[in-house]
Structure 1
Amino acid sequence: MTERTQYDAALEARLCRYAAVDTQACETSASQPSSAIQLDLARMLLAELEAMGHAARITDYGAVIAKIPGTAPGPKIALLAHMDTAPAYNATGVKPRVIRAYPGGEIRYPDAPDLVLSPTNAPYLNEKIGLDLITASGATLLGADDKAGVAIAMELAATLAAAPDLPRPDLTLAFTCDEEIGRGVDPRLPADLGVDFAYTLDGACLGEIEYESFSADGAKVKITGVSTHTGTAKGKMVNALHLAARLISALPQATDTPEVTEGREGFWHIYALTGTAAEAELSIILRDFELEGLARRGEMLRGLCAALAATEPRARIACEIFPQYRNMRYWLEQDMTPVELARAACAEEGITPISVPIRGGTDGSRLTEMGVPCPNLFTGMQEIHGPLEWVCVQDMAAALKVCLALLARAAGGAGAKK
Structure 2
Amino acid sequence: MTNISQKFNKYLYSSAQRFLTYVQIDTQSDPNSSSSPTTEKQKDLGKVLVQELKQLGLDSAHMDEYGYVYAQLASNIQEPVPGICFCAHMDTSPDCSGKHVKPIVHSNYQGQDLILPDDSSVVIRLQDHPDLAEQIGHDIITASGTTLLGADNKAGVAEIMDAVQFWVQHPDVPHGPISILFTPDEEVGRGTDHVNLEKVNATYGYTIDGEKRGHLENETFSADGFTIKIEGISQHPGFAKGRMESAIKIASEIVGLLPKDHLSPESTENMEGFIHPVDISGSVETATIDFILRDFKTEKLEEYGMLLKSITHQVLKNYPHSKVQFIQTEQYRNMNEILVKHPACLENAMEAMRRAGLQPEMQSIRGGTDGSRLTFMGLPCPNIFAGEHAFHSKQEWVSIQDMQKATETIVHLAAIYAEKGT
In the superposition, the TM-score normalised over structure 2's length comes to 0.93
Task: Tell me the amino acid that sits aligned with residue 241 of structure 1.
Answer: I
Q: Secondary structure at the match of 1:374?
A: coil
Residue of structure 2 in register with 1:387 after alignment: 394
Q: Secondary structure at the match of 1:308?
A: helix
Displacement after TM superposition at 1:187 (Å) = 5.4
Moved more, 99-108 or 397-406: 99-108
Q: For the Cα contact (< 8 Å) 1:8–1:394, is it kept in 2?
A: no
In structure 1, what is the Cα distance between the partners aligned to 2:322 and 2:187? 34
Q: For the Cα contact (< 8 Å) 2:214–2:359, is it kept in 1?
A: yes
Residue of structure 1 in register with 2:3 after alignment: none
Residue of structure 2 in register with 1:18 after alignment: 22
In structure 2, what is the Cα distance between the partners aligned to 1:12 and 1:388? 18
Q: For the Cα contact (< 8 Å) 1:218–1:286, is it kept in 2?
A: yes
Aligned pair partner of 2:63 in 53, 58, 62: 58
Q: Secondary structure at the match of 2:22?
A: helix
Displacement after TM superposition at 1:398 (Å) = 0.3
Displacement after TM superposition at 1:355 (Å) = 0.3
Residue of structure 1 in register with 2:36 after alignment: 32
Displacement after TM superposition at 1:267 (Å) = 0.9
Displacement after TM superposition at 1:5 (Å) = 6.6
1:144 has 2:151 as partner: yes
Q: What does residue range 172-187 of structure 1 map to in structure 2 within 5 Å?
A: 172-186=179-193
In structure 2, what is the Cα distance between the partners aligned to 1:161 and 1:404? 11
Gaps of 5+ in 1: none
In structure 2, what is the Cα distance between the partners aligned to 1:141 and 1:316? 42
Q: What does residue range 5-404 of structure 1 map to in structure 2 within 5 Å?
A: 10-54=14-58, 55-72=60-77, 73=79, 74-186=81-193, 188-404=195-411
Task: Tell me the amino acid that sits aligned with residue 85 of structure 1.
Answer: T
Displacement after TM superposition at 1:400 (Å) = 0.4
Displacement after TM superposition at 1:98 (Å) = 1.1
In structure 1, what is the Cα distance between the partners aligned to 2:182 and 2:402? 20
Q: Secondary structure at the match of 1:29?
A: coil
Displacement after TM superposition at 1:7 (Å) = 6.3
Displacement after TM superposition at 1:309 (Å) = 3.1
- CA change 1:44–1:320 in 2 (3 A) is same
Q: Secondary structure at the match of 1:371?
A: coil
In the superposition, the TM-score normalised over structure 1's length comes to 0.94
Q: For the Cα contact (< 8 Å) 1:61–1:186, is it kept in 2?
A: no
In structure 1, what is the Cα distance between the partners aligned to 2:46 and 2:243? 54
- CA change 1:415–1:212 in 2 (3 A) is farther
In structure 2, what is the Cα distance between the partners aligned to 1:131 and 1:360? 28
Q: For the Cα contact (< 8 Å) 2:115–2:122, is it kept in 1?
A: yes
Displacement after TM superposition at 1:224 (Å) = 3.1
Task: Tell me the amino acid that sits aligned with residue 65 of structure 2.
Answer: D
- CA change 1:165–1:271 in 2 (3 A) is same
Q: For the Cα contact (< 8 Å) 2:13–2:162, is it kept in 1?
A: no
Deviation track 1:83-127 (CA, whole Å, cap 9, x = no partner) reads 111122222222111111112131111222112211211100111
Displacement after TM superposition at 1:239 (Å) = 2.5
Q: For the Cα contact (< 8 Å) 1:209–1:376, is it kept in 2?
A: yes
In structure 1, what is the Cα distance between the partners aligned to 2:235 and 2:131? 55
After superposition, the CA RMSD in angstroms is 1.8
- CA change 1:323–1:45 in 2 (3 A) is same
Moved more, 270-279 or 194-203: 270-279
- CA change 1:307–1:397 in 2 (3 A) is same
In structure 2, what is the Cα distance between the partners aligned to 1:241 and 1:367? 39
Displacement after TM superposition at 1:231 (Å) = 3.6
Across the two proteins, how many residue pairs are aligned to each other? 412
Moved more, 292-301 or 174-183: 292-301
Task: Tell me the amino acid that sits aligned with residue 390 of structure 2.
Answer: E
Displacement after TM superposition at 1:184 (Å) = 0.9
In structure 2, what is the Cα distance between the partners aligned to 1:341 and 1:263? 25
Q: For the Cα contact (< 8 Å) 1:305–1:319, is it kept in 2?
A: no
In structure 1, what is the Cα distance between the partners aligned to 2:144 and 2:323? 46
In structure 2, what is the Cα distance between the partners aligned to 1:25 and 1:345? 32
Gaps of 5+ in 2: 1-7
In structure 2, what is the Cα distance between the partners aligned to 1:53 and 1:306? 62
Moved more, 392-401 or 214-223: 214-223
Displacement after TM superposition at 1:61 (Å) = 2.5
